[in-house]
């Protein structure tokens, strides 16, 4: 099989994009194939795969798909598992659609996901929100990737459970931002160790696994985090995770809304606004860095 691919990232949360507009190239998108593509030494290497497919084409394979959007982000983790949602993935996906002329970036549009349709918008870079990699991007896409926002919908704030890493145990706030998160406030980000293995968590609370964020406060409305992602291990960024962190911090602060938090991740900076109407908006840069074709023999 020969197929086209692209590589992109949002604050270094990196993805292989697989254009498969009518769903005829990758069929059911086999998990072992996804894991092989994402392998850092034997494959292209990525935290996940974004299949670019028309919603009506995916619905022929998955009749339960509920979306009014033209384009659907069929997201897979690096281990081949499906997740409902990927915040950074939506921003990379939107940039790809705009760069390829598949959407009109000057008009509102939404991307279909397994967590519902996500409205996207392209913004002017906002000083503090712009990471170092933003500077070189205007040559490629007239600054289109400098600051891409996604309305992530309404988070659910649940109970507190415990997570354990490097021999330490912390309380962790359960926040659902389309997918499950456990947010633990720590004194220093290095006290959680290298996160080579998944931290322990309460499997009764998270029967389908969990993304775990460790957070420190950096200043007023400013935090920094590390994340161990379900299905991918420690990554350089996580958009749904940054949103969960901002929500948990706003709850801990008793913050009046709307409130915006700057969330530093190892791969850059994201901004998350928690609005008075309960919606959260994630903003940050995205970039498409490579493309090619691959001959694949199973």
Ligand X SMILES: N[C@@H](CCC[C@H](N)C(=O)O)C(=O)O
Where does this chain bind ligand X (CB under 6 A)? Answer: 13, 48, 77, 83, 86-89, 179, 211, 229-232, 238-240
Smallest distance, ligand X to C-beta of residue 80, A: 11
Q: What angle do CA 38, 42, 46 make, to 5 degrees?
A: 20
User: Could you confirm whether 86 is annotated as catalytic?
Assistant: yes
Task: Judge whether 147 and 130 are in contact, CB under 8 Å.
Answer: yes
Smallest distance, ligand X to C-beta of residue 86, A: 4
Catalytic residue (one of 17, 69, 85, 86) = 86
Q: Does a cis peptide bond (omega within 30 degrees of 0) precede residue 258?
A: yes
Smallest distance, ligand X to C-beta of residue 209, A: 7
d(CA 212, CA 143) in angstroms, rounded, equals 32
Task: Please identify, using beta-carbon distances, which residue of 67 and 83 lies nearer to ligand X.
Answer: 83
Catalytic residue (one of 95, 238, 282, 288) = 238
Does the annotation flag 13 for ligand binding?
yes
Smallest distance, ligand X to C-beta of residue 84, A: 7
As given in the structure block, the two tokens for residue 26 are: 């990758």
Does the annotation flag 211 for ligand binding?
yes
Going 28 to 29 to 32 to 33, the CA torsion angle's sign is positive
Give the relative orientation of helices 87-99 and 239-253 as an angle to the nearest 10 degrees.
Answer: 130
d(CA 298, CA 283) in angstroms, rounded, equals 38
* Count, residues in the chain: 298
Does the annotation flag 77 for ligand binding?
yes
Task: Please identify, using beta-carbon distances, which residue of 173 and 240 lies nearer to ligand X.
Answer: 240
Task: Please identify, using beta-carbon distances, which residue of 134 and 178 lies nearer to ligand X.
Answer: 178
Task: Judge whether 4 and 19 are in contact, CB under 8 Å.
Answer: yes
**Considering only CA atoms, which of 161, 186, 157, 159 is closest in space to residue 246?**
157
User: Could you confirm whether 238 is annotated as catalytic?
Assistant: yes
Task: Please identify, using beta-carbon distances, which residue of 110 and 232 lies nearer to ligand X.
Answer: 232
What single-letter DSSP state applies at residue 11? T
Going 275 to 149 to 66 to 181, the CA torsion angle's sign is negative
In this structure, are strands 156-165 and 222-229 parallel, antiparallel, or unpaired? unpaired
Task: Please identify, using beta-carbon distances, which residue of 65 and 245 lies nearer to ligand X.
Answer: 245
Smallest distance, ligand X to C-beta of residue 280, A: 12
Task: Judge whether 153 and 162 are in contact, CB under 8 Å.
Answer: no
As given in the structure block, the two tokens for residue 170 are: 């912390």
Residues contributing to the annotated binding site for substrate: 13, 77, 87-88, 179, 211, 229-230, 239-240
As annotated, the active-site residues are: 86, 238
Residues contributing to the annotated binding site: 13, 77, 87-88, 179, 211, 229-230, 239-240
């Amino acid at each position: 099989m020969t197929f086209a691919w692209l590589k992109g990232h949002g604050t270094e949360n990196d993805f292989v994009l697989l254009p498969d507009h009518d769903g005829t190239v990758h069929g059911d998108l086999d998990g072992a194939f996804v894991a092989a593509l994402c392998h850092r030494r034997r494959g292209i290497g990525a935290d996940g795969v974004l299949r670019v497919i028309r919603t009506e084409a995916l619905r022929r394979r998955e009749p339960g798909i509920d979306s009014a959007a033209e384009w659907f982000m069929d997201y897979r983790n690096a281990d081949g598992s499906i997740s409902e949602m990927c915040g950074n993935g939506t921003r990379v996906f939107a940039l790809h659609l705009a760069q390829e002329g598949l959407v009109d970036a000057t008009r509102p549009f939404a991307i279909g996901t397994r967590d519902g349709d996500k409205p996207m918008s392209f913004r002017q870079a906002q000083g503090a929100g712009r990471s170092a990699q933003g500077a070189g991007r205007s040559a490629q896409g007239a600054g289109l990737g400098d600051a891409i926002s996604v309305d992530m919908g309404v988070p659910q704030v649940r109970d507190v459970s415990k997570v354990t890493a490097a021999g330490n145990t912390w309380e962790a706030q359960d926040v659902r931002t389309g997918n499950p998160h456990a947010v633990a406030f720590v004194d220093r980000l290095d006290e959680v160790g290298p996160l080579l293995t998944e931290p322990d968590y309460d499997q009764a609370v998270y029967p389908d696994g969990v993304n775990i964020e460790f957070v420190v406060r950096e200043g007023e409305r400013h935090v920094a985090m590390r994340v161990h992602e379900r299905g991918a291990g420690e990554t350089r960024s996580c958009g749904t995770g940054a949103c969960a962190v901002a929500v948990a911090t706003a709850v801990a602060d008793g913050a009046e809304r709307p409130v915006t938090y700057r969330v530093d991740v190892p791969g850059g900076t994201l901004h998350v606004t928690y609005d008075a109407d309960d919606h959260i908006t994630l903003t940050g840069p995205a970039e498409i860095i490579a493309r090619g074709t691959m001959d694949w023999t199973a």
